[in-house]
Chains A and B, each alone.
Chain A
């Protein structure tokens, strides 16, 4: 059995779902959670339900907002005071920025963006995609402990009946240390939707969207089914959508339960970024478009007529 720490970030006071996915998968290990800042009792209960033994609330000056140095310094100080074999975190924007720096404070290794793992005899062995998902490989961490692992959101899934832990809350004081890169301002995104990498449903538009304005029909469908809207590289390069919306090898790799590709041909670099979606629906006028080879449900037809009909059908089925 390994001693494991799971770092969770907070989003509007809530732990990220990936934390619960990780805890569920760690059944049989001794797992604690570390959070920077304060966390409500119902959030602690949610962590305990998924197996958290202790919930360490790390507090100190200059830790009120994220900085890679401050968070890494404070977490390193806490981790050094304990005896953890592994430190897990989500491969989120923050996790990707923070964990490599934190691991290097221990001269330790980090296996990043892992999509599945086992703890055999307390030793981690994971699977991760490489070349944007064009292939998979087994990944192991060697060298000094603790070993660090970041987990791709939505990849593990929730464990149906997790083994509960004690969920004992504990306040920890830590120093943020010297912070040289500080956030002065946050410019909010125009969209309030969940990020593509964490979205449960994604609707993507390709080159066939013709222009940025036409994305309105995708937004309408997305609003009905609670989806985040994405775009193919062709659509981004044509100026129809910003790069933040790009799915594929030079954009975001996504793994939602439902992916609806509208007017996306299915270039190899796009397929690489979305092929692990659970269910794929493709709408395209070209019956030979490569996207159909990955689609669970393919509709050969014009997206400009199909999408509005589909939106109405979703409304009916969802009672909206």
Chain B
């Protein structure tokens, strides 16, 4: 069984984002990169499957800057067998990314049975790559999954939709599954795991190697800027118990007369 996990490196959630002076992208020099949080659930699910199918091979694939290979090394330290890294700019669009991932998976020579991704990357928040990848492979896909059960060739997955309702899907391999928080509890990499990861194979490709060119861009971004700051609001002190009722009544009144939202 061949399992592929597509991961992305994204700025840490606590990062302050600063657009470049020409607005073409964001300043990336001082960013702390982490594995996209949803991808951790994707890696963990692949490793859980490997536990019950020891012959399964787990390959992690990532696109992006080659300066820092943190996400791939982390995934291999957690237990993935090997990795592929496609050197690419950090502001590529979803269509190009999916095409490149498919190119790298095809180049591995291994026929994919399961492809896991996170449900979205928390940088561009496009929520497109798993579905595009599935369509390019002509595979079914289920996104935003919070439950995975395998019995024989049938896989039962739970997809979270609006309001926390769950759609239960039945699929068989090959399939693309996009993981949400709640699917499992990602393991930490052990020290021996980290040491072993250093010796695990990591193939490196250029975008050209995997068949992607500028002509594959479908979405263009420009004019990166900070959102407008709100003017300072009104602040009320309600720490004095005697005044609480009066202050709250005043705020509720303002919500109706000034803000007109109630």
Query: In the complex, which residues 56-105 of chain A have their Cβ closer than 8 Å to any Cβ of chain B?
Result: 66, 68-69, 72, 92-94, 96-98, 100-101, 103-105
Give the distance in Å from the alpha carbon of A139 to the alpha carbon of B146 in the complex.
31
Q: Is B140 an interface residue when CB atoms closer than 8 A count as contact?
A: yes
Chain A residue contacts of B95, Cβ below 8 A: 104, 109
Partner of B26, one of A131, A225, A268, A300: A131
Output the least CB separation between B26 and chain A (Å). 7
Q: Chain A, 105-146, contact with B by CB distance < 8 Å: what is the 0/1 string?
A: 100111111000000000000000111111111111111000
Q: What 0/1 readout, one digit per residue, does chain B (206-234) give for beta carbons within 8 Å of chain A? A: 00000000000111111111110010111
CB distance from A121 to the nearest CB of B (A): 17
- Decide: B124 and A130 in contact? CB cutoff 8 A: yes
Q: How far is the CB of B153 from chain A (nearest CB, A)?
A: 12
For the complex, is A212 an interface residue (Cβ under 8 Å from B)?
no
Tell whether B195 is near chain A: CB-to-CB under 8 Å. no
Residues of A within 8 A of B124 (CB): 130-131
Q: How far is the CB of A292 from chain B (nearest CB, A)?
A: 6
Determine the chain B residues whose CB is within 8 A of the CB of A143 once the complex forms: 217-218
> Given contacts A129-B227, A300-B235, A309-B245, is CB(A317)–CB(B256) below 8 Å?
yes
B119 to A: closest C-beta gap in Å:
9
Given contacts A143-B218, A184-B169, contact A296 B252 (CB under 8 A): no
**B218 lies within 8 A of A108 (CB):** yes
Question: In the complex, are the beta carbons of B227 and A276 less than 8 A apart?
Answer: yes
Asked whether A185 is an interface residue with its Cβ less than 8 Å from the other chain, the reply is: yes
- Among B136, B161, B223, the one with the most A-chain Cβ atoms within 10 Å of its Cβ is B161
Residue of A nearest to B158 (CB): A187
Contact at B17–A131, with CB atoms within 8 Å?
A: yes
Contact A100 B128 (CB under 8 A): yes
B253 at the interface (CB under 8 A from A): yes
On chain B, the residues within 8 Å of A302 by CB distance are 239
B94 touches A110 (CB 8 A): yes
Beyond A198-B162, A268-B13, whether A306 also contacts B244 by CB under 8 A is: yes
Interface size band for B: 35 or more
Given contacts A112-B128, A135-B224, A305-B244, contact A297 B255 (CB under 8 A): yes
Q: Which residues of chain B come closer than 8 Å to A98, judged between CB atoms?
A: 131
> Is A10 part of the binding interface, using a Cβ–Cβ cutoff of 8 Å?
no
Is A151 close to B, CB under 8 A? no
Give the docked Cα–Cα distance between A258 and B260 (Å).
10
**Shortest CB distance A2–B (Å):** 18
- Is A279's CB under 8 angstroms from B261's CB? yes
User: Which of these, B139, B144, B163, B245, contacts A191 with CB under 8 Å?
Assistant: B163
Pair A195/B219 contact, Cβ less than 8 Å: no
**Contact call A245/B164, Cβ cutoff below 8 A:** yes
B253, A186: Cβ atoms under 8 Å? no
Is B66 in the interface zone, CB < 8 Å from A? Answer: no
Indicate if the CB atoms of B259 and A296 lie closer than 8 Å: yes
| Cβ-defined contact, A93 with B251, below 8 A | no
Q: Which of A130, A195, A285, A298 contacts B162 (CB 8 A)?
A: A195
Find out whether the CB atom of B13 lies under 8 angstroms from the CB atom of A110: no
Residues of A near B128 (CB, < 8 A) are 100, 110, 112
In the complex, the answer to whether A195 meets B255 with C-beta atoms within 8 Å is: no
Q: Does A257 contact B (CB under 8 A)?
A: yes
- Decide if B165 touches A294 in the complex (CB within 8 Å): no
**Across the interface, do A268 and B255 meet the contact criterion of CB distance under 8 Å?**
no
Q: Is A183 within 8 A of B167, CB to CB?
A: yes
User: Smallest Cβ distance from A235 to chain B, in angstroms?
Assistant: 14
Query: Could you list which residues of chain A lie within 8 angstroms of chain B, going by C-beta atoms?
Result: 66, 68-69, 72, 92-94, 96-98, 100-101, 103-105, 108-113, 129-143, 179-195, 197-198, 201, 225, 242-246, 249-250, 253, 257-258, 267-269, 275-276, 278-281, 285, 287, 292-302, 305-306, 309-310, 313-314, 317-318
A-B contact pairs, 11 of them (CB 8 A): A93-B160, A100-B129, A135-B19, A135-B226, A136-B225, A137-B222, A142-B220, A190-B164, A195-B162, A269-B13, A317-B252
Which positions in B face A, CB cutoff 8 Å? 11, 13-17, 19, 26, 37-38, 93-95, 98, 122-132, 134-136, 139-144, 146, 156, 158-172, 175, 180-182, 217-227, 230, 232-239, 241, 244-245, 247-249, 251-256, 259, 261-262
